[in-house]
Structure 1
Amino acid sequence: MSTAPSTEAPGTPAPTATAVAPRRSGGGGGLGRYIVVRFLLIIPTIFILVTTVFVVMRATGDPITAALGGRLTPDQLQQRIHEAGYDRPILVQYVEYLGDLLHGDFGTTLSDNRPVTEVLTTFGTATLELAVYALIVAFLVGIPFGLLAASRRDRLPDAVLRVFAILCYATPVFFAGLLLKLVFSVSLGWFPVAGRASTGTEIELQTLDNPSGFYLIDAFRTGDPDAVGDVLMHAVLPAVALGLLTAGVFLRLVRTNVIGTLSTGYVTAARSRGVREGRLLRKHAWRPALIPIITVIGLQVALLLSGAVLTETTFEWKGLGFQLAHYLQARDFVAVQGIVVLIAVVVALTNFVVDVIAALIDPRVRY
């Protein structure tokens, strides 16, 4: 049997089969797909949260009886229940409730007959402002101390800071607030005892055209340095009390991740080339440890909002937490339901934003 002569020149190596790697889609497509998927996941998350809140609120009976049962006659009570539609089947109430939520209608409070939407917009800015202050405190305390603990691993500063982190996280926020008030307001007189601003400053802020509800922003709009200073002085103690709760988490997280990064091969190689420890910490170890910290921020928002209830009550900071405690005492479950649903939506959206930021910083998150 004859074979076809080779057309290759003598001495030429035979061609080898090469595997063609599949082309990977561009980073932009991967990021876009990741954002769309994460955003679509918000819908079932919010649906489950809204359903859970609705079922829990109805487990104790209708809201009218819970709030006004001892103040109305049986006939008046039944009339109010019928007018509000709480005598209909629970499934009908649930479908109507979802429809109202889609139109931005959270119902009307039973204790003071106000639209719940008005309560949310009026007091929500105060809670958001306090949460931002607390996050700033958490960053300023948790991140530098976490870096310091990592750089002094298994030494006295590390041990002290780890104990400090545990105390920050384990101490009840209302106890921390009362302690701060006792020391810095009552004993030393450095800061105001309660409120978002003094009475004169509040009147000045409320007379502005279209006030934003964020006292610090409105204080800057007045152009009055005394008003700005007064708002900041009132914010210090509530922000520290709530911020330390999250600072303990950040401190331990930064310490753990930076220690892990410092033991990697490229940091060891940089250290062998004579790079100073301070530069290693700032340039090489800090940035890779940033992703877990950003991811945890979304979880800490839920912790801040839950802690805001006790913080605002302790310092009479009139936000959603303060109003939630008031409506719980009044057994106004319509208002409570609206506030809890809003907090759940804010937490879900915050986690979505944090996931997107993490994907922008680290492409590995997208796949």
Structure 2
Amino acid sequence: MSEINSAGGPGSPQNGVLTTGPGVGQLVPPPSTRSRRRGNGLYRYLLVRFLLIFPTIFILVTTVFFLMRITGDPITAALGGRLTPDQLAERRHAAGYDRPIIVQYLNYLGNIARGDFGTTYSDNQAVTKILTSYGSATLELVLYSLVITFLIGIPLGRLAARNRDRWPDAVLRVFAILAYATPVFFLGLLLKLVFSVKLGWLPVSGRISASGEVQMQQILNPTPFYLLDAIRLGSPALIGDVLSHAILPALALGMLNGGVFLRLMRTNLIGTLDRQYIESARSRGVSESRLVTKHATKPALIPVITVMGMQIALMLGGAVLTETTFEWKGLGFMLAQYMTSRDYVAVQGIVMMLAVIVALANFVVDVIAALIDPRVRY
């Protein structure tokens, strides 16, 4: 008996060798080695995903650069109707737009590497200032929209899965299709018409009221986020002002992805509820509500989290229309303005910033998915 105990029991590996069973004599790595391999697999996976950010941004920057140049140089596009031909030629020569396209491209990459994204031609602002001033507004809107997305997608998806093939499931599936298929600008206009014009409950547009802007000026070292500054001031009225302006644009943008998450959650939860370990728990008398909340929800969330990166990219695309509809002055709003004025220097800078946000968001989603599900790492 003492010999068996010292060996760790029949069939246990001794010094990495299996002693009994069909695989007698086979080498089995000790637990420390297996855990080290799992750790190395995670680090290798995260390193590869992080390094993929750079070629993704490079490809997008290159594509946008050459697509912008198809229509001509930025100075002619932005100022062609306001300057004489001689003035245009002088401006083009000073900016280097009369050089070969490959030379312009290499100069552009060099400027980006130094953090210089150029200066807009329509209002003579540094593109970096535009990115820092308006990027926080877009990020704030996306965060609000993600909250709406999860509030719609996760609970309603669970409700639809629990009532599979019954009338609540049918109603929620139709709702998900309508939420995803309705154009975001149409939904935004409809929300404004109902809740702002007809009912007068919420503001029509903007990020904050004029009186709120005056209160915000009292803050020393303000953050880019209005809600954080309102909380720092400790004014419930100002916090309500900020949130009331955010409800309609966040709802319009969040509904777009809420329908997608609802359908994903429903499908994955139904598949999880049909697995053997759920059936075993059900046979032991575990209630259906406990099966859904305690045993099936977490595995069903893994595909939802994986898709989240693509949905954030979709949100940033929808932010252009949402910000324009509600005059929410973020990167999407400014992108529409600069595209109207054909200021391609600003367009290139904003598109590149959006690409960076999407790439970083996908990396964060990959990290979360790898930590939750080890199968993602291999």
TM bin, normalised by shorter chain, reads over 0.9
Shift of 1:16: 8.5
2:248 is the counterpart of 1:241: no
For residue 223 of structure 2, what is the aligned residue in structure 1? 212
For residue 322 of structure 1, what is the aligned residue in structure 2? 333
2:309 is the counterpart of 1:309: no
Among 123, 138, 146, the residue aligned to 1:135: 146
Among 150, 165, 170, the residue aligned to 2:161: 150
Give the secondary structure class of the aligned counterpart of 1:26.
Answer: helix
2:258 partner amino acid = A
Give the unaligned 5+ runs of structure 1: 1-12
1:294 partner amino acid = I
1:19 partner amino acid = Q
Q: Alpha-carbon deviations, 1:180-200, whole Å to 9, x = none?
A: 011011111110111111001
Q: How many residues align?
A: 354
For residue 207 of structure 2, what is the aligned residue in structure 1? 196
For residue 297 of structure 1, what is the aligned residue in structure 2? 308
Work out the CA distance in 2 between the residues paired with 1:361 and 1:66: 49
For residue 125 of structure 2, what is the aligned residue in structure 1? 114
Change (3 A) 1:82 1:28: same
Q: Alpha-carbon deviations, 1:3-47, whole Å to 9, x = none?
A: xxxxxxxxxx9x985221456443222111111111111111111
For residue 362 of structure 2, what is the aligned residue in structure 1? 351
2:368 is the counterpart of 1:361: no
Among 99, 103, 122, the residue aligned to 2:110: 99
Among 111, 114, 123, the residue aligned to 2:134: 123
Work out the CA distance in 2 between the residues paired with 1:276 and 1:16: 41
Give the secondary structure class of the aligned counterpart of 1:289.
Answer: helix
For residue 67 of structure 1, what is the aligned residue in structure 2? 78
Work out the CA distance in 1 between the residues paired with 2:118 and 2:23: 73
1:29 partner amino acid = N
Work out the CA distance in 1 between the residues paired with 2:218 and 2:77: 38
Work out the CA distance in 2 between the residues paired with 1:296 and 1:17: 44
Work out the CA distance in 2 between the residues paired with 1:141 and 1:175: 19
Work out the CA distance in 2 between the residues paired with 1:56 and 1:283: 51
Work out the CA distance in 2 between the residues paired with 1:37 and 1:233: 42
2:285 partner amino acid = G
2:299 partner amino acid = P
Work out the CA distance in 2 between the residues paired with 1:207 and 1:122: 18
Give the secondary structure class of the aligned counterpart of 1:303.
Answer: helix
Identity %: 69
The two structures have a TM-score, normalised by structure 1, of 0.94
2:267 is the counterpart of 1:256: yes
For residue 26 of structure 2, what is the aligned residue in structure 1? 19
Q: Alpha-carbon deviations, 1:175-224, whole Å to 9, x = none?
A: 00100011011111110111111001012213422211211011111222
Shift of 1:274: 0.6
Q: Alpha-carbon deviations, 1:277-327, whole Å to 9, x = none?
A: 000001111011111111111111111111111111111111111111110
2:26 partner amino acid = A
Work out the CA distance in 1 between the residues paired with 2:145 and 2:284: 41
Q: Alpha-carbon deviations, 1:247-276, whole Å to 9, x = none?
A: 001000000000000000000111111100
Q: Alpha-carbon deviations, 1:306-362, whole Å to 9, x = none?
A: 111111111111111111111011010100110001101110111011101111111
1:210 partner amino acid = N
Work out the CA distance in 2 between the residues paired with 1:60 and 1:225: 50
Work out the CA distance in 1 between the residues paired with 2:373 and 2:82: 59
* Root mean square deviation, CA, Å: 1.4
For residue 43 of structure 1, what is the aligned residue in structure 2? 54
Give the secondary structure class of the aligned counterpart of 2:52.
Answer: helix
Shift of 1:92: 0.9
Between 20-29 and 66-75, the greater mean CA deviation after superposition: 20-29
Among 239, 242, 248, the residue aligned to 1:231: 242
Between 209-218 and 170-179, the greater mean CA deviation after superposition: 209-218
Shift of 1:80: 0.5
The two structures have a TM-score, normalised by structure 2, of 0.91
Among 336, 341, 344, the residue aligned to 2:352: 341
